[in-house]
């Protein structure tokens, strides 16, 4: 940043807007946390402050662990998100690298079709997708979603990676080729390592989308013990019009904690990766 | 009314005797099964249901019925539950369309896919004969083209749920018997700071369960009995629309015009409303979480209109998908489940939350444990399917799921003139009925 | 260039490959087109199988009358003609555009602000950024349940605050009033998507060389002028990417509206995605529902084409 600002300007330019952002982004979480930590009687009490806890209680957390398969759902979610992210990254690289760095016939057409794949709504896809999954005898198994999530994620990853690959100067690759390296080698040893932040950003973003996905998980994961968090939680804690508010909120918070941890660890790569490509390229 | 109740009472007592006999017979069914299928026994039967409004109901199935079935037949029973209110139908449609390995289930909105359901007439007839006979109205859902496509299980009763203490304080000591009295009482209660909260949003049950009975009570009908003639645009409908607009303005909380099904539970339990139309879930939650409120909640039948008293059914029926690899095994499972030895205790495991469509349970002692739930059973006497008087076919389902009738009322409440609101709905109906 | 450590690493290995017999194969492999297609084939096959087939099937469905569990009959453009004369469909189209437009503008402006704020130096930057991403991380089905309470007329925080401040004696009905209901779903969508804009634009900001800023300052540019003539033009590509992403995701947003309002009251918040869903699932009309879903594709394509040509001009 240019120069150091005086404290009144810093107050107005940084702390006040930052505080406003925090309030806007996080007040629903304050409510969620408060709700997960008080008994239903207090939640329903019209005289109570929705943001305050008079009698803190862990009862919803205990019930969540005791009465549902929450731990299993978390494990499933992480596994599914991880595997489908890895598949998507692999396929995304294979798609993006030639499109970004090679000249060959039909390249333009392919780039457009990858973009079009993005515009296809899930509402159009899910019935034939269910048919496909059943024909492959994959219904009710985690592999069903591990295979279908990449259909949503590959175009996304490819698009992001195309932008990133373009930022690496062409001369680098050419120099490697002149020195006798094969294209494969130039790619794996020269270009890809330079793009590590790009992988991280695409990977983390894909991971988030995968762990949030609802429709395919609902259709393809049927036994309680193989469900992911969103489907497991809504299936067993939303009973008709009776919602288990406290447990739902406890699950929402506990379910996103692992991801927050990953984010705070990788956030600088994430930031660097998501857009560096588009700016320079 | 009293006489028919009496009559029913006597038949049901006789049926109780039958129940115990049948229970004994049920024990032998298992043995019979082992004989028949010693060679080609399916590994498992998968049974799909929406997660029950009352948790104890699902727990009973998992903890008692599954082990018992395994013991009786040696077949593993898998109980898949999906969230209510939106998740079940896409799951069912995808099962039907892709022939997914699910054998039987609660066939919600069965009018969408009756072609994919097995004929279960023999089971339904047998169960009906054995347990006091079916309520006739449910046949217009389960019987299609002369065949039973599903075996009725029970109705989730939708009644008026109200705060007796606030009604008392406003000087209303018995629940209003007519819609006019209902409006009068609501006007008083809203002035006292306790408005009604009558759901009119894009939900799945709490909106239809009072708006349709109200429309019918005023003499309005959406589509005639033939399932073709659109009869919505009538003076009776206009009176019903005017009434709802006035009720909304004078007696209801503003928010209720957009409410989905959980919203009125939330508003009731947080003491924001004095009356709504709902299933048992409010009283059950209150008894568990808010004992004081639990004492002052009561249930009542819908008020009656100039053309009588009506309720709308929220029926639960079980069907078998005809792509099941072993239809006989699936049918055996359903027959086993509907055997009084199993089904009676299952009904009772959750306050008779599913009021059986079988007369044998009309006077079940379980109803006496919480007399406030009795109206939920009596809903069956005047209960009609949402399509009434038209047949419960796909078109009627489309009307419900596009909220054509609900939106007619909601529009009127948000300022659209009665004529225009009805005309909009009529246009929507024409699109569906062609 | 030769001092690049990565290249140095690649070199010795590259020199060790001059096997004569493999040479021809290698030469063939080294051709750009061959190498490209070898790389492209597996992902394309995957997409073709898992996306191409369902997509073609979906397109086929939109030209037939196909109730659930029944055979199809070809109706040509019949489904689209049907939708053309369906007033709910047009209301859904109009709602979708208002929803997407308003939410995208709000997210863009807010995200730009968020990025500018977070671009400054302060302690605990990493944690702050990760925390601000929370709305984006929590599964939508669950965060929307929380919003049902936050927007509650009597118990919700919005109305509690309004009443506490004394602005009103009785708060408005956020989900009951048709206009406010649309405002509410736009608000919740903005809340969820804002961090994505913020963090992405922040990344763009960080790649702008500081020298450029310094030069501009020396030339006498004020902070607004620096932003308008240096920062913003350099950010345009990022803004374009993030906006495109967001328009697609917002246009197809289904869960949020489905859980919060179901498209009500009286269709005031019905979107094309929720309407397509209610036709095919509720009404069981797979053909008509597919047509409604497919209708989103060209509309969205038009928006994106218009946007990209505008950006190119600017």
The pLDDT tens digits of the residues spanning B36-72 come to 444 456 778 999 998 888 888 999 999 999 999 999 9
Query: Residue B22: is its pLDDT beyond 60?
Result: no
A17-61 pLDDT per residue, tens: 889 999 999 999 999 999 999 999 999 999 888 888 999 999 999
Neighbouring C-beta atoms of residue A112, cutoff 10 Å:
10
Which of A126, A133, A235 lies closest to B82 in CB terms?
A235
Does B183 fall in a domain?
yes
Q: Please, what is the Cα angle at A219 between A218 and A222, to 5 degrees?
A: 75
Nearest CA in chain A to B264: A241
With CB atoms and an 8 Å threshold, state whether A98 touches C17.
no
**B237 plus B163 within the same structural domain:** yes
Residue C201: pLDDT band by 50, 70, 90 thresholds? confident
What was the pLDDT predicted at B117? 96
Residues with Cβ within 8 Å of A78's Cβ and at least 6 positions away in sequence, in order, are A211, A258
* C positions 86-145 inside 8 Å of A (CB): 113-114, 117-122, 126-143, 145
What was the pLDDT predicted at A5? 58
> What is the average pLDDT across B182-211?
96
C214 vs B110, higher pLDDT: B110
Q: Which domains are seen in chain A, by residue range? A: 7-57 (no CATH), 68-280 (1.10.3720.10)
Does B142 fall in a domain?
yes
CA-based torsion, C170, C173, C177, C180: positive or negative = positive
Task: Give the gap in angstroms from C-alpha C84 to the nearest C-alpha of chain A.
Answer: 19
Does B384 fall in a domain?
no
Percent of chain C scoring above 70 in pLDDT? 91
With CB atoms and an 8 Å threshold, state whether B254 touches C176.
yes
With CB atoms and an 8 Å threshold, state whether A104 touches C33.
yes
Distance CA C11, CA C3 (A): 12
Q: Which domains are seen in chain C, by residue range? A: 5-61 (no CATH), 78-313 (1.10.3720.10)
**B107 plus B202 within the same structural domain:** no
For A105-114, B18-27, B260-269, which range has the lowest pLDDT when averaged over its residues?
Answer: B18-27
Instruction: Using CA atoms of A98, A101, A104, A108 in order, give the dihedral in degrees to the nearest 10.
Output: 80
With CB atoms and an 8 Å threshold, state whether C140 touches A158.
no
| b/e C101-122 (16+ beta carbons within 10 angstroms → b) | ebbbebbbebbbbbbbbbbeee
Which of B255, B397, B432 lies closest to C173 in CB terms?
B255
Task: Give the gap in angstroms from C-alpha B413 to the nearest C-alpha of chain C.
Answer: 10
Complex ipTM value: 0.86
Q: Please, what is the Cα angle at A225 between A221 and A228, to 5 degrees?
A: 55
**B185 plus B81 within the same structural domain:** no
In chain C, what residues touch B398 (CB-CB under 8 Å)? 282-285
**B148 plus B163 within the same structural domain:** no
**B165 plus B258 within the same structural domain:** yes
Query: Residue C281: is its pLDDT beyond 80?
Result: yes
In chain B, what residues touch C78 (CB-CB under 8 Å)? none
| b/e B43-54 (16+ beta carbons within 10 angstroms → b) | eebbbbbbbbbb
In chain C, what residues touch A154 (CB-CB under 8 Å)? 43, 46-47
**B320 plus B369 within the same structural domain:** yes
Task: Give the gap in angstroms from C-alpha B272 to the nearest C-alpha of chain A.
Answer: 8
Angle (deg, nearest 10), helices B88-98 and A122-135 = 50
With CB atoms and an 8 Å threshold, state whether B260 touches C264.
yes
CB of B401 within 8 Å of a chain C CB? The answer is: yes
Query: Residue C219: is its pLDDT beyond 90?
Result: no
Residue B16: pLDDT band by 50, 70, 90 thresholds? very low
Neighbouring C-beta atoms of residue B416, cutoff 10 Å:
19
For A62-71, B228-237, C78-87, C244-253, which range has the lowest pLDDT when averaged over its residues?
Answer: C244-253
* A positions 76-95 inside 8 Å of C (CB): 91-92, 94-95
Q: Subunits with at least 3 CB pairs below 8 A relative to chain A?
A: B, C
Domain that holds residue B262: 159-312+393-433
**B148 plus B171 within the same structural domain:** no
Query: Residue A107: is its pLDDT beyond 80?
Result: no
Nearest to A200 by CA among A280, A275, A266, A276: A266
Query: Residue B208: is its pLDDT beyond 50?
Result: yes
**B153 plus B286 within the same structural domain:** no
Distance CA A15, CA C222 (A): 21
Does B344 fall in a domain?
yes
Q: Is the backbone of residue C309 left (phi > 0), alpha (psi -120 to 50) or beta? A: alpha
Does B204 fall in a domain?
yes
**B202 plus B179 within the same structural domain:** yes
Distance CA C239, CA C104 (A): 11
Does B379 fall in a domain?
no
Query: Residue B189: is its pLDDT beyond 80?
Result: yes
- Which residue's entry shows tokens 């593993």? B76
Percent of chain A scoring above 70 in pLDDT? 93
In chain B, what residues touch A235 (CB-CB under 8 Å)? 51, 81-83, 87
With CB atoms and an 8 Å threshold, state whether C284 touches B93.
yes
Nearest CA in chain C to B407: C266
3-state secondary structure of B252: strand
Residues with Cβ within 8 Å of B120's Cβ and at least 6 positions away in sequence, in order, are B148, B149, B150, B151, B319, B320, B331, B334
Tell me the average pLDDT of chain B.
89
What was the pLDDT predicted at A245? 94
A146-167 pLDDT per residue, tens: 999 999 899 888 887 887 787 7
Total domains in the fold of chain B: 2
- Cis-peptide, bond into residue B389, ω within 30° of zero: yes
CATH code of B52's domain: 3.40.190.10
Ranges A67-71, B158-162, C41-45, C216-220, most confident: B158-162
**B144 plus B170 within the same structural domain:** no
CB of C167 within 8 Å of a chain A CB? The answer is: no
What was the pLDDT predicted at C123? 77
A104 vs B412, higher pLDDT: B412
Query: Residue C294: is its pLDDT beyond 60?
Result: yes
**B65 plus B119 within the same structural domain:** yes
What was the pLDDT predicted at C23? 62
With CB atoms and an 8 Å threshold, state whether A218 touches B90.
yes
A186 vs B348, higher pLDDT: B348
**B111 plus B225 within the same structural domain:** no
Does B241 fall in a domain?
yes
Tell me the average pLDDT of chain C.
85
What is the CB-side half-sphere exposure of residue A115 using CA atoms within 13 A? 17
Distance CA B406, CA B213 (A): 12
Does B206 fall in a domain?
yes
């Amino acid at each position: 940043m240019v120069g150091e600002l005086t404290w009144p300007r810093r107050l107005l330019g940084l702390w006040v807007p930052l505080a406003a952002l925090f309030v806007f982004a996080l007040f629903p979480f304050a409510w969620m946390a408060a709700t997960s930590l008080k008994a239903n009687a207090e939640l329903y009490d019209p005289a109570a402050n929705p943001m305050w806890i008079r009698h803190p209680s862990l009862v919803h957390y205990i019930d969540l662990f005791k009465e549902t398969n929450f731990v299993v759902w978390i494990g499933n979610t992480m596994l599914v998100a991880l595997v489908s992210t890895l598949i998507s990254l692999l396929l995304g690289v294979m798609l993006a690298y030639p499109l970004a760095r090679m000249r060959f016939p039909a390249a333009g057409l392919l780039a457009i079709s990858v973009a079009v794949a993005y515009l296809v709504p899930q509402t159009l896809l899910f019935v034939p997708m269910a048919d496909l999954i059943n024909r492959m005898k994959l219904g009710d198994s985690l592999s069903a979603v591990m295979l279908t999530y990449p259909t949503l994620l590959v175009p996304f990853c490819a698009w992001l990676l195309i932008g990133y690959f373009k930022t690496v100067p062409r001369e680098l690759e050419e120099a490697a080729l002149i020195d006798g390296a094969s294209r494969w080698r130039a790619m794996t040893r020269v270009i890809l390592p330079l793009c590590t932040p790009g992988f991280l950003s695409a990977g983390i973003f894909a991971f988030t989308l995968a762990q949030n996905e609802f429709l395919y998980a609902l259709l393809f994961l049927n036994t309680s013990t193989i469900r992911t968090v969103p489907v497991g939680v809504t299936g067993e804690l939303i009973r008709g019009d009776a919602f288990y508010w406290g447990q739902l909120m406890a699950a929402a918070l506990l379910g996103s904690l692992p991801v927050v941890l990953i984010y705070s660890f990788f956030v600088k790569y994430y930031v660097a990766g998501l857009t560096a490509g588009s700016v320079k390229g | 009314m009293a006489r028919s109740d009496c009559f029913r009472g006597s038949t049901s007592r006789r049926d109780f005797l039958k129940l115990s006999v049948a229970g004994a017979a049920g024990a032998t069914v298992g043995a019979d099964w082992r004989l028949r299928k010693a060679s080609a026994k399916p590994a498992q039967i998968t049974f799909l249901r929406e997660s029950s409004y009352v948790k104890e109901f699902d727990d009973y199935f998992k903890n008692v019925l599954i082990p018992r079935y395994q013991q009786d037949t040696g077949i593993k029973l898998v109980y898949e539950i999906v969230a209510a209110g939106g998740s079940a139908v896409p799951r069912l449609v995808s099962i039907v369309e892709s022939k997914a390995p699910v054998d039987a289930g609660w066939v919600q909105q069965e009018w969408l896919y009756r072609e994919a359901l097995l004929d279960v007439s023999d089971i339904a007839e047998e169960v009906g004969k054995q347990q006091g006979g079916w309520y006739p109205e449910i046949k217009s859902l389960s019987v299609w083209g002369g065949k039973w496509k599903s075996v009725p299980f029970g109705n989730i009763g939708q009644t008026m749920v109200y705060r007796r203490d606030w009604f008392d304080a406003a000087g209303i000591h018995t629940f209003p018997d007519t819609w006019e009295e209902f409006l009068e009482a609501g006007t008083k209660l809203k002035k006292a700071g306790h408005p009604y909260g009558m759901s009119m949003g894009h939900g799945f049950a709490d909106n239809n369960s009072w708006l349709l009975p109200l429309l019918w009570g005023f003499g309005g009908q959406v589509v005639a009995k033939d399932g073709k003639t659109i009869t919505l645009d009538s003076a009776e409908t206009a009176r019903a629309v005017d009434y709802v607009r006035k009720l909304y303005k004078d007696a209801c909380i503003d928010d209720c015009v957009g409410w989905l099904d959980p919203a009125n539970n939330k508003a009731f339990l947080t003491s924001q409303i004095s009356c709504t139309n709902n299933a048992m879930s409010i009283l059950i939650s209150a008894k568990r979480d808010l004992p004081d409120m639990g004492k002052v909640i009561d249930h009542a039948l819908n008020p009656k209109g100039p053309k009588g008293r009506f309720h709308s059914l929220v029926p639960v029926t079980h069907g078998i998908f005809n792509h099941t690899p072993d239809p006989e095994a699936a049918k055996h499972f359903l027959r086993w489940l509907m055997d009084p030895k199993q089904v009676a205790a299952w009904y009772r495991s959750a306050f008779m939350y599913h009021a059986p469509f079988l007369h044998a349970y009309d006077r079940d002692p379980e109803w006496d444990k919480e007399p406030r739930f009795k109206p939920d059973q009596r809903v069956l006497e005047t209960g009609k399917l949402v399509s009434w008087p038209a047949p419960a076919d796909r078109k009627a389902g489309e009307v419900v799921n596009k909220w054509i009738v609900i939106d007619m009322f909601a529009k009127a409440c948000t300022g659209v003139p009665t004529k225009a609101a009805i005309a909009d709905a009529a246009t929507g109906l024409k699109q569906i009925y062609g | 260039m030769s001092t690049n450590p990565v290249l140095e690493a690649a070199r010795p290995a590259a020199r060790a490959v001059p096997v004569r017999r493999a040479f021809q194969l290698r030469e063939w492999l080294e051709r750009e087109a061959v190498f490209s297609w070898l790389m492209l084939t597996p992902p394309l096959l995957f997409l073709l199988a898992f996306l191409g087939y369902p997509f073609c099937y979906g397109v086929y469905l939109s030209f037939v009358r196909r109730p659930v569990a029944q055979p199809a009959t070809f109706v040509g453009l019949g489904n689209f003609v049907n939708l053309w004369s369906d007033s709910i469909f047009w209301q859904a189209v109009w709602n979708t555009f208002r929803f997407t437009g308003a939410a995208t503008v709000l997210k863009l402006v807010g995200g730009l602000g968020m990025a500018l704020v977070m671009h400054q130096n302060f302690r605990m930057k990493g944690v702050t950024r990760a925390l601000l991403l929370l709305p984006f991380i929590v599964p939508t089905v669950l965060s929307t349940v929380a919003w049902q309470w936050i927007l509650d007329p009597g118990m919700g925080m919005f109305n509690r605050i309004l009443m506490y401040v004394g602005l009103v004696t009785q708060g408005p009905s956020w989900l009951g009033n048709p206009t406010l209901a649309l405002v509410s779903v736009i608000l919740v969508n903005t809340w969820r998507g804002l961090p994505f804009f913020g963090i992405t634009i922040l990344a763009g900001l960080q790649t702008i060389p500081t020298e450029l800023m310094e030069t501009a300052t020396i030339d006498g540019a004020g902070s607004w002028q620096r932003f308008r003539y240096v920062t913003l033009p350099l950010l345009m590509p990022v803004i374009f990417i993030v906006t495109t992403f967001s328009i697609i995701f917002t246009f197809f947003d289904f869960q949020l509206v489905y859980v919060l309002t179901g498209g009500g009251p009286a269709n005031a918040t019905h979107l094309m995605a929720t309407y397509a869903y209610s036709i095919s699932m509720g009404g069981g009309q797979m053909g008509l529902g597919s047509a409604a879903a497919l209708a989103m594709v060209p509309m969205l394509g038009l928006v994106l084409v218009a946007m990209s040509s505008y950006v190119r001009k600017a």
